[in-house]
Structure 1
């Protein structure tokens, strides 16, 4: 039984991922006639009142992915220079909660945002210049470049596409939602390998990441 906190993936009419919504927002979109089609598994069945003519109770199935009408500026998010908002939560998720210097994984409270080229040396606070670092490694590196500190980066930082960013923002992403989002990732996306590894390590009775 899925929790009512399970997120629904909303897309535009062309299937471009837009955002995560809860079942209440999804139900409202159905009520307003904004849902063009649905795909993925049915997550919830909402029950309404009894029809006075048919004496039947109204029911509404909420699926894991719904496509909606309207203009949502999706084209702007397909531009080559598009960069999603940067936050520690999505940064840590991008790097799989792994310190990009020592390779150890930590919970969020033991991680920090490191600027590969320090801001004191002109480095910018952008996706391509930040990595996840444990507090110990970040303190050791201090205001130096990795080369000056004798440290090696385990992966090259990258700016997520909009679809990758939606994935990183998700909580308890279901298998069908993950497959849908992954189809929108660039072929070279480092997230492909990570997702494939997560799927291989997931028990058969667990369908989410």
Structure 2
């Protein structure tokens, strides 16, 4: 992952420098060129390591593909949080722009504390805390798998985690309904969220082995 941090704001030029202006050893996956203030903003919103890593990789890939063109980093971050913005390869003579839309970020950072006006919650990726915790465990126990798993998990759009959230509720319910128990059994066999990611939801005392073939599919 290649990141170049500037003190000056150069957002309009960053998309045109897929290698960050490097003359030698061009990174194969592109370079994220970012101003220090925006880097602090991203790190403040994306505090879990997996979130920050996946976003930085996406921004490098966007620069490599030359699209969409990003003029304000907050717009790119908001688009990634909302629907996992992906790089776009423009056709010849074509320019692809990123639409603006960072109202939630603006509201969060410009809020003025006052009685009766509680501070808004920080914008979030929508990934379940249990999944982020599991990625932290992978980082400690199987670091060789962490990079691919982090990218695969953070590529899942926020709404697509609904089935895992439901399965977690069913797994926690000791006296759940028949439907909940059935749902928990299915979740133990794996919930396939994408061709690159399957999530297994099991009780804490379940010691059965978890399938982990080398296709980025793991619990």
Q: Which protein, 1 or 2, shows the higher relative CO under an 8 Å CA cutoff with sep ≥ 6?
A: 1
Larger proportion of helix? 2
Normalising by structure 1, what TM-score?
0.24
In terms of Rg, which structure is larger?
Answer: 1
More strand by share: 1
